[in-house]
Amino acid sequence: MTLIKSISGIRGTIGGNPGDNLTPIDAVKFAAAYGIWLKDYSKKGKLKVVIGRDARLSGEMIQNLVVSTLVGLGIDVIDLDLSTTPTVEIAVPLEKADGGIILTASHNPKQWNALKLLNEKGEFLNAEQGAKILEIAEKEDFAFSEVDDLGSITRNDSYIDIHIDEVLDLSLVDADTIRKAKFKVVVDGVNSTGGIAIPKLLQELGVEVVKLYCDPTGHFPHNPEPLKEHLGDICKLVVEEKADFGIVVDPDVDRLAFIDNKGEMFGEEYTLVACADYVLGKTKGNTVSNLSSSRALRDITEKHGGTYEASAVGEVNVVTKMKANKAIIGGEGNGGIIYPESHYGRDSLVGTALFLMLMAEKGGTVADLRASYPSYFMSKKKIQLTPGLDVDAILKAMAEKYKDEELSTIDGVKIDFPENWVHLRKSNTEPIIRIYTEAKSQQEADGLADRIIGEIKEVAGL
């Protein structure tokens, strides 16, 4: 199935049959469901929604369909055209809009696209709201506006610049400090909108930029997920250019990865660790990441005298816990930085600026910085189960087996051992249990995962 309907929006592959793929009919249906939900939710006469998209090939088509559907519902649209996920998120409250839609399939390959839905704060909808929109779409319970009541379209392509200004105005970002460091940085924008936003930000900060795949054509030159196996070109170019480091973002610019001066991965998990290290060094406070993120954030937070807490996986869950715990920085281990002084959304522009400040003040190389942090290694495996097996009962049995350890059951089962941890999560779409582990060596992380897989098989009678 290549049309995935979830509480956080709808995503799928372009082409094919309605209901099976993300066709024009599906795009219109879900845009209409969001518009109908928003009318009921906001209880206002005239609504305004911000729309922006990444550079993927289907973006303009999907954008035209979504914009026209909202206009047909009598909703005014602020069209940012090519943009980034965090840019749309900050635009919603700045425009005093009632919601927002980002047209992006994030790190998925070019044949995918998606509608990501925002509330009036520019934050992702919660599970209850998402479920309501799915219900409206299923029933096709739409009533469109008459001709005198149609919405209007206002185009505004200045928001990436506004976003950059917002980053430069953050209290812990000092452009002069960064300029004095005279950094040289290679940027891989995966031929999407990060290729516009990140070089512009760096130039404003006096950084010498070497561009790689920064032309927003939507023809991704490699798999757009910023993982080591996809990033050979930038790793090589950082060394050839004698650059201080490299920056990689995904197509919608909410995930951020660094390449050190030796052309090695800094590690996506360590993007948040480094940014938190800088922020906590300036401001006392707490942090949050999800249960599958590195323990290194906890170590750094406690070193600075703060408290670390883990949320269920998913950005909306991280944000909810951050608000509850008054966390001053948080995010996800996939390179997503959430810095509330800016906004409650993962933002690679904010992360880049904080990282540059850390490097400018600390001096030394990015490789030295990475070596200074606690070193952890992760293993990510899965176990395929026979259909019909009760996955919840298996997870419950594993929780019971390890009840004397530090245990969390808010999202699957997370077992924190003194030297390592394991997180077991079930898939919502297939009979699979995902097994994430982290330890002080790769061998230990893989060994722990294999041991737990053996125990699950025993419990399941496989």
Active site residues: 106
Cα–Cα distance measured from residue 340 to residue 334, given in angstroms and rounded to the nearest whole number: 18
Cα–Cα distance measured from residue 456 to residue 462, given in angstroms and rounded to the nearest whole number: 8
Could you list the beta-strand ranges (E) of 104-254.
Answer: 112-118, 153-155, 184-188, 208-212, 245-249
Could you list the beta-strand ranges (E) of 146-242.
Answer: 153-155, 184-188, 208-212
Asked if 66 contacts 77 with a C-beta cutoff of 8 angstroms, the reply is no
Identify the burial level of 102 via C-beta atoms within 10 angstroms of its C-beta, where 0-12 means exposed, 13-18 middle and 19 or more buried.
Answer: buried
Cα–Cα distance measured from residue 391 to residue 385, given in angstroms and rounded to the nearest whole number: 8
What 3-state DSSP class applies to 363? coil
Cα–Cα distance measured from residue 84 to residue 367, given in angstroms and rounded to the nearest whole number: 29
Angle, helix 59-72 to helix 24-42, in steps of 10 degrees: 40
Give the DSSP H or E segment for 3. strand 3-6
The bridge status of strand 153-155 relative to strand 76-82 is: parallel
**Which ranges of 216-330 would DSSP assign to H, the alpha helix?**
232-240, 268-282, 296-303, 315-325
Nearest to 145, CA basis, from 57, 72, 246: 72
The neighbouring-strand residues paired with 343 are 339
- Sheet with 9-13, side-by-side order of all strands: 3-6, 9-13, 112-118, 99-103, 48-53, 76-82, 153-155
Asked if 351 contacts 159 with a C-beta cutoff of 8 angstroms, the reply is no
Buried b / exposed e along 327-343 (16+ C-beta atoms within 10 A): bbbbbbbbbbbbbbebb
Q: What are phi and psi of 338, to 5 degrees?
A: -115, 115
Cα distance between the two ends of the chain: 27
DSSP state of 21: B
Cα–Cα distance measured from residue 402 to residue 310, given in angstroms and rounded to the nearest whole number: 19
Cα–Cα distance measured from residue 291 to residue 313, given in angstroms and rounded to the nearest whole number: 6
